[in-house]
């Protein structure tokens, strides 16, 4: 099989994906946006989201240009690559820079498209609920699918064109770095934004003035809804976009290195590569992703078809079917890929297929343990609700503890995936497990982006006075979104974890390609002081990063709280409903605060790996990444699950259990939920992006770091 043809398949899959996204967008736009009030509210949300995005993108523009210039002058990571004749053979990294720019712009485009459709879909889905549950579901789900398909489409088109023009995966590293640095801003900024608004709205509106959720009198209501779009649609989309691309890059870079070496090592057997094999293994990750996209598309249609009265079940069924279809289709394409390969290569390719299936399966398992730990009808969340009977503090202790315990099952899942992946196909196997886990990312992101849309729909139904029955339907759609969200988060964490592990392996191999012997296995020995120190710093960073984000939300929410109180106090007509609150002001606070507060965490995530590399050397940097991956996993899972469980415990009490709304028990559960907000929607999910950005920074700056005592660092032990 000729390589370009395979790439053409991936490219076509990508184009189809974008085409479908645009088609779905058109379907959504055609729907009825509802009554005047609904259009008005939706318009506010849209304006707020656009404002945030435009300010954010301007800031990103400056950052991207600055980093491009830095990349241009970095010692080229391509120098050591033997697979490719450079287009610009001088010292400057033009290719890398261009790839970086494409990655950044691609990520921004996908985020923008997803969000643009999201803010159109919310009011249309609310109006759809007046016709039937199914109608409302369809509109919201198609709206979400735009984001899912845009993510996959941009990624596949970008990777396949870049690799076609410049057949060196190191180039795609630049593309991936572009995607990640945008994701970092989108995720941190969006996360701070959404929780500033949410916490602010809850603390004053709900707690002090007893206003219900989404009450139009609450000045932060619109900002809260904007937050759902910027944090949960654009943020989560760019997060998974970034993991998705990074997993492809890590696998391709490893394959390219093996192609240079002419052999793929694995514990079972070392496979010598034929020329055909060299070409095939490099593009296998992209091909599997293409297959995954097709599976996702089928899954999306199944969800639409099934999504009648039980939207939550429909979303999960879609995920299951996409998984099964992926197993079958990828086996089929593996069979075609084996044509023309040698015997041992054929065995390896089949094992790689198996590894990608194991990766996907373990993603599902991780997602479902997240679901278990956050569902109101399961023991952990139920116990948390009971703990509310003993007051605020006990809810917190309970949630924190169950959050920590919930780290164990996904950790076992990841360990089993690593074990099998490595046993079957060595480090390449670990990379392919990550690719497999992310294969159906189209379905996953679609399900996830559905959540904030129906959340917004509910608010619009409330504000547009559609009546109790319609709000109940919107509520039902909303709660299905919450379940999907828990699963997506588990998936996102697991996938990011495997991806950065694969990036760690490719980092080590890359070091020896640029400067042979610069990173020997014994250099990464945990008994060396520099390795220990690197790992130590790595373990601390996710903790510090989370703390900074949470404090950012807290600081910003405090400003928001003051503003809401000021509006209520200065103009009593807001509370009586005679005059509209000043939504622009609260949106401004959320926007400016988010952008200001994301600077320090962003600097930390890019600067720390470089500093560790300069001071303690590249082996220390490798250990730094490993330490960050492991502790990042613990913090990300703990915060996501504790936050989700607190949220659902509160909802369960609000459903009338343990005395229901307004009781002391309910208040205690609100405390849990408020603590959980920045845990689950700001700090927890941002850690994924942090890990990917740090790993890519390490790989991109590797050539530069090798200048310091040949990679041994300034402090030599």
Near a copy of itself in 119-178, by CB under 8 A: none
* 387 binds a copy of itself per the rule CB under 8 A: yes
With beta carbons less than 8 A apart as the criterion, state whether 214 and 463 touch.
yes
Binds a copy of itself by CB under 8 A, chosen from 25, 264, 553, 653: 553
Binds a copy of itself by CB under 8 A, chosen from 69, 165, 393, 611: 393
Binds a copy of itself by CB under 8 A, chosen from 131, 405, 600, 658: 405
* 709 binds a copy of itself per the rule CB under 8 A: no
* 566 binds a copy of itself per the rule CB under 8 A: no
Binding mask 232-271 for a copy of itself (x = CB under 8 A): -----------------------------------x----
* 414 binds a copy of itself per the rule CB under 8 A: yes
- The piece of 112-120, 275-283, 400-408, 447-455 that touches a copy of itself (CB under 8 A) is 400-408
* CB 633 to a copy of itself: min, Å: 8
Complex with a copy of itself: residue 88 or 386, whichever CB lies closer: 386
Binds a copy of itself by CB under 8 A, chosen from 368, 400, 428, 652: 400
Binds a copy of itself by CB under 8 A, chosen from 82, 165, 339, 408: 408
Binds a copy of itself by CB under 8 A, chosen from 55, 74, 105, 532: 532
Report the C-alpha gap between 668 and 394 in whole angstroms: 9
* 508 binds a copy of itself per the rule CB under 8 A: yes
* 445 binds a copy of itself per the rule CB under 8 A: no
Q: How many CB atoms lie within 10 A of CB 50?
A: 16
- The piece of 138-146, 324-332, 417-425, 467-475 that touches a copy of itself (CB under 8 A) is 417-425
* 551 binds a copy of itself per the rule CB under 8 A: yes
Q: How many CB atoms lie within 10 A of CB 355?
A: 27
With beta carbons less than 8 A apart as the criterion, state whether 497 and 633 touch.
yes
Report the C-alpha gap between 681 and 227 in whole angstroms: 10
- The CA-atom distances, in angstroms, between 134 and each of 141, 142, 288, 312 are 10, 12, 32, 12
Of 116, 108, 120, 117, nearest to 58 by C-alpha is: 108
With beta carbons less than 8 A apart as the criterion, state whether 494 and 326 touch.
no
Q: Where are the beta strands (DSSP E) in 239-346?
A: 263-264, 271-272
Binds a copy of itself by CB under 8 A, chosen from 142, 402, 428, 583: 402
* CB 480 to a copy of itself: min, Å: 27
Complex with a copy of itself: residue 242 or 673, whichever CB lies closer: 673
Q: Which residues pair with 271 in a beta bridge?
A: 264
Report the C-alpha gap between 581 and 218 in whole angstroms: 7
Binds a copy of itself by CB under 8 A, chosen from 556, 631, 648, 697: 631
* 593 binds a copy of itself per the rule CB under 8 A: no
Binds a copy of itself by CB under 8 A, chosen from 630, 651, 654, 663: 630
Complex with a copy of itself: residue 305 or 717, whichever CB lies closer: 717
Query: How many residues lie near a copy of itself (CB under 8 A)?
Result: 83
* CB 199 to a copy of itself: min, Å: 8
Q: What 3 state SS string does 370-401 have?
A: HHHHHCCCCHHHHHHHHHHHHCHHHHHHHHHH
With beta carbons less than 8 A apart as the criterion, state whether 354 and 279 touch.
no
Binds a copy of itself by CB under 8 A, chosen from 37, 50, 51, 392: 392
- Degrees, nearest 5: CA angle 221-225-228: 145
* 600 binds a copy of itself per the rule CB under 8 A: no
With beta carbons less than 8 A apart as the criterion, state whether 151 and 442 touch.
yes
With beta carbons less than 8 A apart as the criterion, state whether 455 and 481 touch.
yes
Report the C-alpha gap between 186 and 464 in whole angstroms: 30
* 362 binds a copy of itself per the rule CB under 8 A: no
Binding mask 662-681 for a copy of itself (x = CB under 8 A): ------x-xxxxxx--x---
Complex with a copy of itself: residue 185 or 624, whichever CB lies closer: 624
Instruction: Restricting to residues 205-224, name those near a copy of itself by CB under 8 A.
Output: 207
Of 615, 610, 609, nearest to 709 by C-alpha is: 615
DSSP secondary structure code for residue 76 in this structure:
P
Complex with a copy of itself: residue 19 or 659, whichever CB lies closer: 659
Q: How large is the C-alpha radius of gyration of the chain? A: 24
With beta carbons less than 8 A apart as the criterion, state whether 183 and 60 touch.
no
Binds a copy of itself by CB under 8 A, chosen from 59, 74, 558, 599: 558
Buried b / exposed e over 604-638, threshold 16 CB at 10 Å, is bbbebbbebbbbbbbbbbbbbbbbbbbbbbbbbbb
Complex with a copy of itself: residue 202 or 232, whichever CB lies closer: 202
* 21 binds a copy of itself per the rule CB under 8 A: no
With beta carbons less than 8 A apart as the criterion, state whether 287 and 337 touch.
yes
Binds a copy of itself by CB under 8 A, chosen from 201, 293, 303, 638: 638
Instruction: Restricting to residues 183-202, name those near a copy of itself by CB under 8 A.
Output: 199
DSSP 3-state of 272: strand
Burial class of 422 by CB neighbour count within 10 A (0 to 12, 13 to 18, 19+): middle
* CB 147 to a copy of itself: min, Å: 29
* 415 binds a copy of itself per the rule CB under 8 A: yes
Q: For the chain, report the end-to-end CA distance as a whole number of angstroms.
A: 50
- Furthest C-alpha separation in the chain: 80
Of 197, 203, 187, 144, nearest to 684 by C-alpha is: 187
* CB 244 to a copy of itself: min, Å: 23
* 70 binds a copy of itself per the rule CB under 8 A: no
Please list, in sequence order, all residues whose beta carbon lies within 8 angstroms of the beta carbon of residue 142, skipping any fewer than 6 positions away. 24, 27, 28, 121, 304
* CB 311 to a copy of itself: min, Å: 30
Binds a copy of itself by CB under 8 A, chosen from 544, 603, 611, 707: 544
* CB 358 to a copy of itself: min, Å: 14
Instruction: Restricting to residues 276-335, name those near a copy of itself by CB under 8 A.
Output: none
């Amino acid at each position: 099989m000729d390589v370009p043809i395979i790439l053409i398949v991936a490219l076509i899959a990508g184009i189809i994906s974008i085409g479908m996204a645009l088609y779905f967008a058109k379907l959504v736009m055609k729907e009825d946006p509802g009554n005047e009030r609904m259009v008005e509210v939706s318009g506010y949300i849209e304006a707020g989201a656009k404002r945030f995005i435009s300010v954010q993108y301007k800031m990103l523009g400056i950052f991207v240009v600055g980093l491009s210039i830095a990349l241009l002058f970095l010692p080229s990571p391509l120098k050591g690559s033997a697979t490719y004749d450079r287009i610009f053979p001088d010292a400057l990294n033009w290719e890398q820079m261009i790839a970086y720019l494409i990655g950044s712009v691609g990520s921004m485009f996908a985020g923008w498209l997803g969000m643009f459709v999201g803010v159109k879909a919310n009011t249309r889905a609310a109006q759809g609920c007046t016709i039937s549950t199914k109608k409302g579901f369809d509109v919201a789900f198609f709206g979400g699918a735009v984001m899912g398909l845009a993510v996959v489409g941009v990624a596949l088109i970008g990777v396949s064109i870049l690799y076609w023009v410049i057949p060196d995966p190191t180039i795609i590293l630049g593309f991936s770095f572009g995607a990640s640095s945008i994701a970092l801003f989108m995720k941190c900024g969006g996360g701070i934004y959404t929780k500033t608004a949410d916490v602010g709205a809850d603390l004053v509106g709900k707690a002090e003035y007893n206003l219900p959720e989404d009450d139009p009198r609450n000045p932060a209501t619109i900002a809260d809804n904007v937050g759902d779009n910027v944090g949960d649609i654009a943020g989560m989309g760019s997060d998974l976009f970034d993991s998705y691309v990074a997993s492809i890059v890590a696998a391709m870079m490893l394959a390219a290195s093996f192609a240079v070496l002419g052999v793929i090592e694995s514990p079972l057997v070392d496979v010598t590569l034929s020329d055909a094999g060299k070409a095939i293994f490099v593009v296998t990750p992209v091909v599997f992703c293409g297959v995954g996209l097709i599976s996702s598309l089928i899954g999306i249609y199944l969800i639409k078809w099934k999504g009648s009265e039980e939207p939550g079940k429909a979303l999960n069924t879609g995920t299951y079917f996409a998984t099964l279809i992926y197993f079958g289709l990828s086996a089929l394409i593996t069979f075609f890929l084996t044509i023309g390969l040698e015997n041992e290569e054929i065995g390896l390719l089949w094992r790689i297929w198996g590894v990608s299936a194991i990766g996907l399966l373990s993603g599902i398992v991780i997602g479902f343990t997240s679901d278990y730990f956050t569902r109101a009808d399961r023991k952990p969340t139920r116990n948390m609700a009971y703990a509310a009977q003993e007051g605020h503090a006990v809810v917190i202790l309970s949630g924190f503890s169950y959050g920590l315990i919930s780290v164990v099952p996904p950790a076992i899942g990841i360990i089993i995936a690593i074990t099998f992946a490595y046993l079957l196909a060595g480090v390449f196997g670990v990379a392919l497990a990550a690719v497999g886990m992310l294969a159906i990312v189209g379905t996953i992101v679609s399900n996830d982006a559905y959540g904030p849309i129906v959340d917004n729909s509910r608010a619009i139904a409330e504000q547009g006075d559609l009546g109790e029955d319609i709000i109940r339907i919107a509520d039902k759609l909303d709660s299905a979104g919450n379940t999907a969200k828990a699963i997506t988060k588990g998936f996102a964490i697991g996938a990011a974890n495997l991806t950065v592990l694969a990036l760690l392996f490719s980092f080590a191999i890359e070091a020896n390609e640029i400067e042979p012997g610069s990173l020997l296995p014994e250099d990464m020995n945990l008994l060396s002081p520099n390795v220990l120190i690197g790992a130590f710093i790595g373990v601390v960073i996710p903790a510090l990063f989370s703390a900074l984000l949470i404090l950012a939300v807290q600081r910003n929410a405090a400003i928001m709280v003051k503003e809401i109180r000021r509006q209520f106090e200065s103009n009593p007509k807001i509370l009586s409903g005679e005059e509209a609150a000043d939504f622009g002001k609260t949106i401004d606070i959320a926007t400016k605060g988010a952008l200001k507060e994301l600077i320090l965490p962003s600097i930390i995530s890019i600067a720390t790996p470089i500093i560790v590399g300069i001071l303690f050397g590249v082996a220390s940097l490798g250990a730094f990444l490993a330490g960050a991956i492991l502790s990042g996993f613990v913090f990300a899972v703990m915060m996501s699950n504790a936050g989700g469980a607190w949220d659902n415990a509160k909802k369960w009490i609000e459903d009338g259990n343990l005395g229901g709304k307004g009781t002391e028990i309910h208040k205690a559960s609100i405390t849990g939920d408020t603590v959980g907000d920045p845990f689950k929607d700001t700090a927890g999910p941002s850690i994924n992006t942090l890990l990917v950005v740090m790993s890519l920074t390490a790989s991109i700056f590797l050539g530069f770091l090798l200048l310091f005592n040949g990679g041994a660092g300034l402090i030599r032990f």
